[in-house]
């Protein structure tokens, strides 16, 4: 039986976004779920390893994940309430979460397909799943076990206000010590290290994760990969931007997808692919997961 090489652990949720006319628009989402869909749409053998509810919100997440090509054996649909993200403002982004005893908290790694850990090459962790107990402790323990096996650990903090707690800080520090690849946005640094300027925040992050490759994203200013003493910058592609929702998740998913498919590719080639994928997402409203063909067309200059 084949197993996916890229597992994304964490949360799936439904965003409720306040519209100008006062209505709330519900959209399937969640950072980790988005990352998984991006990787699958780009051709990786990937799975979202998390739990969703059995109501219409969970069923929508399940259907879209399946349509993206994810291995659905790793997603658990459970009889608990959905996790909801209320978004009263997108400019600037404002969030609060509704999810007491929600399905995501009941994800059980013991119910994953037999032998999965022997096959996974990259395991992703991040966002609010590491700030919600008992799921957070369960995932950090799992990441520790996988790292000990030699599995490549990818980490995207994706800061949200509910992470401003001592408990999350402990998990954050542990994950930095385990991670091989870390994606962080400039506004993540501001939330994670509010007492520091951006330069000192990045320096502190590198001190806490001295062995990790760090991909710093700065929106329209592009992205920079920091590895050892090397810094490689990649400008953003010039496209007509619909919005930037999901661009960070596309960055993370495309970065790891390209690493799996082209493990020996030059850094600049990898970063161009990632930047093109993120630009494809920016051209479409919402957390759009681009296809390999769309990214290839942009890379070839076809727009």
Residue 245 has what pLDDT?
Answer: 82
Cis omega (within 30 of 0) on the bond before 270? Answer: no
Residue 303 has what pLDDT?
Answer: 57
pTM: 0.94
**What are the φ/ψ torsions at residue 128 (nearest 5 degrees)?**
-75, -10
Residue 184 has what pLDDT?
Answer: 97
Instruction: Give the residues of the chain that fall short of pLDDT 50.
Output: none
DSSP label of 210? T
Q: What is the mean pLDDT of the chain?
A: 94
Residue 246 has what pLDDT?
Answer: 86
CB-CB contact of 154 with 178 (8 Å):
no
Residue 19 has what pLDDT?
Answer: 87
Look up residue 155 and give its two tokens.
Answer: 């980490």
Residue 1 has what pLDDT?
Answer: 60
The residues, ordered by sequence, that sit 6+ positions from 254 with a Cβ below 8 Å of its Cβ are 38, 39, 42, 273, 274, 277, 278, 295
Locate tokens 């399905």: which residue?
103
* Cα Dmax for the chain: 52
Q: How many whole angstroms from its chain centre is CA 25?
A: 22
The residues, ordered by sequence, that sit 6+ positions from 200 with a Cβ below 8 Å of its Cβ are 193
Cα–Cα nearest to 280, from 250, 256, 260, 259: 250
Domains of the chain: 6-299 (3.40.1190.20)
Helices (H), 93-185: 135-149, 166-178
Query: At 155, is the secondary structure helix, strand, or coil?
Result: strand
Cα–Cα nearest to 174, from 139, 203, 199, 149: 139
Look up residue 89 and give its two tokens.
Answer: 């403002």
Residue 242 has what pLDDT?
Answer: 81
Look up residue 93 and give its two tokens.
Answer: 């982004």
């Amino acid at each position: 039986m084949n197993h996916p090489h890229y597992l994304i652990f964490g949360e799936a949720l439904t965003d409720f976004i306040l519209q100008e006319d006062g209505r709330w628009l519900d959209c399937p989402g969640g950072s980790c779920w988005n990352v998984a869909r991006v990787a699958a749409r780009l051709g990786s053998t990937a799975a979202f390893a998390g739990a969703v509810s059995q109501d219409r919100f969970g069923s929508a997440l399940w259907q879209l994940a399946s349509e993206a090509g994810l291995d659905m054996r790793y997603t658990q649909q459970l009889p608990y309430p959905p996790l909801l993200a209320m978004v009263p403002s997108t400019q600037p982004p404002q969030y609060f979460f509704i999810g007491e005893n929600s399905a995501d908290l009941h994800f059980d790694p013991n119910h994953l397909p037999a032998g999965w850990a022997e096959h996974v090459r990259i395991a992703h962790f991040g966002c609010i799943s590491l700030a919600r107990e008992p799921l957070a402790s369960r995932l950090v323990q799992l990441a520790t076990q996988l790292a000990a096996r030699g599995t490549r650990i990818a980490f995207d903090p994706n800061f949200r206000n509910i992470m401003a707690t001592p408990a999350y800080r402990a998990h954050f520090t542990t994950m930095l010590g385990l991670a091989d690849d870390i994606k962080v946005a400039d506004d993540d640094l501001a939330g994670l290290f509010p007492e520091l300027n951006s330069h000192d925040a990045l320096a502190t992050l590198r001190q806490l994760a001295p062995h990790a490759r760090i991909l710093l994203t700065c929106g329209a200013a592009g992205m920079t990969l920091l590895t050892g003493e090397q810094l490689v910058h990649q400008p953003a592609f010039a496209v007509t931007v619909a919005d930037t929702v999901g661009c960070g998740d596309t960055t993370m998913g495309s970065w790891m997808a390209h690493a799996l498919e082209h493990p020996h590719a030059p850094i600049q080639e990898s970063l161009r692919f990632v930047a093109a994928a993120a630009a494809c997402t920016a051209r479409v409203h919402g957390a759009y997961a681009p296809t390999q063909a769309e990214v290839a067309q942009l890379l070839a200059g076809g727009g």
